[in-house]
Structure 1
Amino acid sequence: MSVVHILLAELELTGPGAVAAPEAHTVGSVLRPDLPLARDGWGNPYVPGTSLAGSLRQHAPRERRRDLFGEVFKDPDKNAENGREETTAIASPVRVLGTRLTLPEVPAMRRRRTAVDRHRAAAKATTLHDRELLPPGTELALWLRLDTETTESALVDEVVALLGTWQPRIGGGRTTGYGRAELVAVRHRVVDLSTPGGLRHWLTIGGPDLVDDQAAVVYERAQRAGGAPDEPYLFGMALEFRITDALHIGTGTFADRSGRRSGVAQILRDHEGIPVVPGSAWKGVLRARVEFILRSVGIGDVCISVEDGASGSCGACVVCEAFGWTERAGTMADDGTPAKTIGARGRLLFADSPVREGSVRVRNHVAIDRVFGGARDEALYADETVEDGHVALHIRHDKAVPDLVRAALVLALADLADGAIGIGGGTTRGYGSLAAQRTTTDWLTAERTTAVNTLRAHRTSEAHAPVHATEEAPA
């Protein structure tokens, strides 16, 4: 191998995202987020090369993954003395040399989330947590190395073509809009070690400077795509809603008010200061409603994903299949041993929804004295709200979604448009009510009948299903 090929892939985060490092959260670091960013030895945020290598491998055609990125597997052609299959490891010809992050002027973001109690329809106790995120606009450089015999290589061309169609999702939270990145450019530097110039460059230059001004640009983004993720829409389009009164999705922080006794509960904003409905809020509200609808019509065994005393999501029903699931740590398995925390990523993807044309205002509230009927002393509080705005709901999917979930999701969206459910906090006192725009209203009207018929047909098929004999209940 006398020719070294260095590929520099330049990416840009088009939404918030991060690789979390929960192991870095130690006792006593209560002021740090529950899921802090992964950081290097100098305390700078970074993305491990393994995260990108795994994403790129997953993007490659299945039949080419072993040849491009290696594999560790059980070889049936090789048996050890004890009769077991030997493990064979094939090294990857594509080496990930490292990554480097360049953050924009805005600092790292922090977002807080909480689960919703299915019975009280309010925040569930002990579920508040926050995570640290890289802001959109963060630049990410990835260096790859391939060694060949000649300067022209079909393997290098294949890797460049693979990079050109790559749409990486970095870190966790993909189903709630985190981690989306776009490939900006790919630069290719050939270092021929059989020539004096190539050998001099290799021996005297190191690190990122190996890719210098002699590198060829083999891929360049035509234009910035931006917006929501690129996966197909579940319903063929984004759904448009308007805020009918006020919306408050809080951050758990308060802004001081001079001369006032209490602060103002802040609303969530994106990196540009625009009020936003996070993908996690859409996903939580709609999942809860889909669970409720399917249980109400008596379809299958649908879990209650945050039910007290349960082990979390069941991982077996159609809702878990579509929305994803996780098993709570600390629960017990059937044999009495501690259950392992496992789960699966959902098929539905929910993106953040910036609020357009809305006005931000502060609403004051006060508790009422139950005895005297007047305002209670020192009980004044205030919420920051956004009013009269418009939001677009982006629901996409990367795998087929069960028909039952799709039908129930249509009915859940109809309930949202009718005001039966709301989004954010204070939904029982006028906050969070949405109304569908004309195009979305017409679509919901047309789809509602089909959704009802889908659920009715499934109930009919279950009712006429044959009953099989068992030992406990003989035929």
Structure 2
Amino acid sequence: MQTTKYNHRLIARVTIEAETPLAIGSGKKSILTDATINRDANYLPFIPGTTLAGLIRHAIDEELADRLMGFIKKKNDKNGEYEVEGSRLIVTEAKLLNCKGKAIDGLLNLETACDDEDKAFLEDFKHAPIRQHAKINHRGITEDKGKFDEEVVPKGARFCFEMELIANPKSEEELAEYKQNFKDLLGILVADGFRVGGKSRNGFGKIKVVGEACLYRELDLSLPADLDLYLKKSASLAEAWNGFEPLKLEKPQESRYTRYELKITPKDFLFFGSGFGNEDVDHSYIKERYITWDGEGNSGRWNSQDNSLVVPASSVKGALAHRTAYHYNKECGIFAENLSPEDFNKYVGKRNKAVFALFGSEGNEDETQPTEAPTGERTDGKRRGHVLFADIIRNKEEKTDKKIHNHVKIDRFTGGAIDGALFDEEALIVHPDEPEEIEFELLVDVDELINEDQRIIQAFEKALKDVCEGMLPLGGNVNKGYGQFEGKLYKDGNCIYE
């Protein structure tokens, strides 16, 4: 048996912050929600190391992934022999940080191990936000079984994890290559399009590396001083280690994404529904608590939901998908009056070629390809979305106020109110002296399927321009005049509509 000595260790400790909510699913449900988040033994959110390792592997090329993260390949089909190599990369779980910026690692009694400030901060994670969803079809109504909800990790939550690369270079050149490869892996964390967790195409999962830097150290265990330093390092993320030095992370220069930016302002009323009412109204707009940190990152606090402005990306995505289908069908000369009822459904929703190419599909019940799907695509009609969205969660402007609208349904024969049909809703009204400017970023991963038909991108850009013109309202109750915007559209930094 051959023994391989890995004398070199490249170690990094990274702190990340959720810029949007994270959907770190546990695969379970509870009495409160259809999908719960992952929680550790302290009942606090955490990110599994397998999640981080999988995301990093997916973001790098196959050759580098095999070199650093191992592989299993068939060597001989007849004999069933395999060529196998284990991973050189070790990734820990990402543990939640308390309000003082210290990781909560290990089994703790939070009642006795934390002071009152930490206890109050961590206690609120036991009641994480729950997002309500409804799948809307091309007729503007909720599809059957299209109502669901999910628990999310709130915006602003910080996590800490470590990555360690073990190496046995045979030369200084090979060692330098390992060092550069490891720094390239760390650079993935600040790359465009890197998301953590599920529902990344619905606005979740956007993160940032705190300070755009990490703690880093290179060790040669054949040296007594480095070996002693390595042995003194604790496995706990809560423990400091004097071997670390700061390392600035470099963002990858090449990006495969086309960046669109919507800079829009609501004309008057804004309503993204919470799915619930409150003690005052039957239907209220969505509010959500989130966390902010001071400039040095040493003090975190929860922000009140009463002052929050939340624009769920899933609402914007749905509106854009339907309008993109409309413009694409118009460009192709496909109109409803020329189609039979059987053919109509081939050109709407996930079966529309532009919607399928840009927004993806969970697959078709009959396991056939969507209309005009190119050769080589999956035959089950499944495709990952190629447009990345990000939720907007921040404090609203001081002069943006809530407005309660009262409604009553009138009997068309008697002219009187119908019994039980009195209801009200709470929306936001924007003050003209202090408008709410909303900056919405969309990253489009343009691949061969999108490139082969220029009408796909043209239809998508027309849908974005409709938002800027006020022709495509966003949010709920749009037929009552809510959700109209006006503004500018940018493509890779250049204004294409004003």
TM-score range, shorter chain: 0.7 to 0.9
SS in 1 for 2:21: coil
Please name the residue that 1:412 is paired with.
Answer: 463
Structure 2 CA distance for aligned equivalents of residues 234 and 5 of structure 1: 34
* 1:176 positional shift: 2.6
Please name the residue that 1:344 is paired with.
Answer: 383
* 1:256 positional shift: 0.5
Structure 1 CA distance for aligned equivalents of residues 393 and 231 of structure 2: 50
* 1:109 positional shift: 2.1
Aligned pair 1:239/2:234, yes or no? Answer: no
Structure 1 CA distance for aligned equivalents of residues 458 and 344 of structure 2: 27
Which amino acid letter does the alignment assign opposite residue 239 of structure 1?
A: L
Structure 2 CA distance for aligned equivalents of residues 87 and 318 of structure 1: 42
Please name the residue that 1:144 is paired with.
Answer: 163
Structure 2 CA distance for aligned equivalents of residues 8 and 99 of structure 1: 10
* 1:346 positional shift: 1.5
Structure 2 CA distance for aligned equivalents of residues 159 and 222 of structure 1: 12
**CA deviation digits over 1:47-70, x for unaligned, max 9?**
111111122223334432211111
- Inter-CA distance 244–36: structure 2 relative to 1 (3 Å threshold): same
Equivalent position to 2:416, from 364, 374, 382 = 374
* 1:171 positional shift: 0.7
1:349-368 paired onto structure 2 within 5 Å? 349-353=388-392, 357=397, 358-368=400-410
Equivalent position to 2:247, from 204, 219, 238 = 219
* 1:157 positional shift: 4.8
**CA deviation digits over 1:374-396, x for unaligned, max 9?**
23344332211112343333222
Structure 2 CA distance for aligned equivalents of residues 40 and 70 of structure 1: 28
SS in 2 for 1:127: strand
Aligned CA-pair RMSD = 3.9
SS in 1 for 2:443: strand
Which amino acid letter does the alignment assign opposite residue 380 of structure 1?
A: L
Q: Is the 8 A contact 2:465 2:489 kept in 1?
A: no
Structure 2 CA distance for aligned equivalents of residues 111 and 49 of structure 1: 25
- Inter-CA distance 429–205: structure 2 relative to 1 (3 Å threshold): closer
* 1:180 positional shift: 1.2
Please name the residue that 1:253 is paired with.
Answer: 276
Structure 2 CA distance for aligned equivalents of residues 99 and 418 of structure 1: 43
Which amino acid letter does the alignment assign opposite residue 94 of structure 2?
A: T
- Inter-CA distance 12–222: structure 2 relative to 1 (3 Å threshold): farther
Please name the residue that 1:43 is paired with.
Answer: 43
Structure 2 CA distance for aligned equivalents of residues 136 and 231 of structure 1: 26
- Inter-CA distance 61–14: structure 2 relative to 1 (3 Å threshold): same
| TM-score scaled by length of structure 1 | 0.73
- Inter-CA distance 68–379: structure 2 relative to 1 (3 Å threshold): same
Which amino acid letter does the alignment assign opposite residue 44 of structure 2?
A: N
Which amino acid letter does the alignment assign opposite residue 169 of structure 1?
A: R
Structure 1 CA distance for aligned equivalents of residues 275 and 344 of structure 2: 24
Please name the residue that 2:78 is paired with.
Answer: 80
Structure 1 CA distance for aligned equivalents of residues 98 and 239 of structure 2: 21
Please name the residue that 1:460 is paired with.
Answer: none
* 1:211 positional shift: 6.7
Q: Is the 8 A contact 2:48 2:92 kept in 1?
A: no
SS in 1 for 2:46: coil
Total equivalences in the alignment? 411
Structure 1 CA distance for aligned equivalents of residues 268 and 214 of structure 2: 48
Which amino acid letter does the alignment assign opposite residue 96 of structure 1?
A: V
Structure 2 CA distance for aligned equivalents of residues 13 and 194 of structure 1: 39
Please name the residue that 1:93 is paired with.
Answer: 88
Structure 1 CA distance for aligned equivalents of residues 167 and 464 of structure 2: 55
Q: Is the 8 A contact 2:16 2:207 kept in 1?
A: yes
Structure 2 CA distance for aligned equivalents of residues 164 and 49 of structure 1: 18
Q: Which runs of 5+ in 1 are unaligned?
A: 224-229, 446-475
**CA deviation digits over 1:310-345, x for unaligned, max 9?**
9x96578342121111126xx3547xxxx9987322
Which amino acid letter does the alignment assign opposite residue 252 of structure 1?
A: G
Identity %: 24
* 1:437 positional shift: 5.5
- 55-64 or 247-256, which deviates more: 55-64
1:22-421 paired onto structure 2 within 5 Å? 22=27, 24-25=28-29, 29-31=30-32, 33-75=33-75, 78-81=76-79, 86-102=81-97, 105=121, 107=125, 108-119=128-139, 121-148=140-167, 153-154=175-176, 155-167=178-190, 168-184=194-210, 185-189=213-217, 206-208=234-236, 212-220=240-248, 232-235=257-260, 238-257=261-280, 263-269=282-288, 271=290, 272=303, 273=305, 274-298=308-332, 317-327=353-363, 331-333=365-367, 343-353=382-392, 357=397, 358-388=400-430, 389-400=436-447, 401-402=450-451, 403-421=454-472
- Inter-CA distance 35–217: structure 2 relative to 1 (3 Å threshold): same
- Inter-CA distance 308–268: structure 2 relative to 1 (3 Å threshold): farther
SS in 1 for 2:463: helix
SS in 1 for 2:277: strand
- Inter-CA distance 353–6: structure 2 relative to 1 (3 Å threshold): closer
Q: Which runs of 5+ in 2 are unaligned?
A: 100-120, 291-302, 337-342, 369-377, 431-435
* 1:366 positional shift: 1.9
* 1:143 positional shift: 1.9
- Inter-CA distance 35–340: structure 2 relative to 1 (3 Å threshold): farther
Structure 2 CA distance for aligned equivalents of residues 416 and 148 of structure 1: 52
Structure 1 CA distance for aligned equivalents of residues 45 and 321 of structure 2: 33
Please name the residue that 1:448 is paired with.
Answer: none
Structure 1 CA distance for aligned equivalents of residues 41 and 441 of structure 2: 38
Structure 1 CA distance for aligned equivalents of residues 467 and 330 of structure 2: 17
- 285-294 or 380-389, which deviates more: 380-389
Which amino acid letter does the alignment assign opposite residue 408 of structure 1?
A: A
Please name the residue that 2:475 is paired with.
Answer: 424
- Inter-CA distance 207–438: structure 2 relative to 1 (3 Å threshold): closer
- 266-275 or 401-410, which deviates more: 266-275
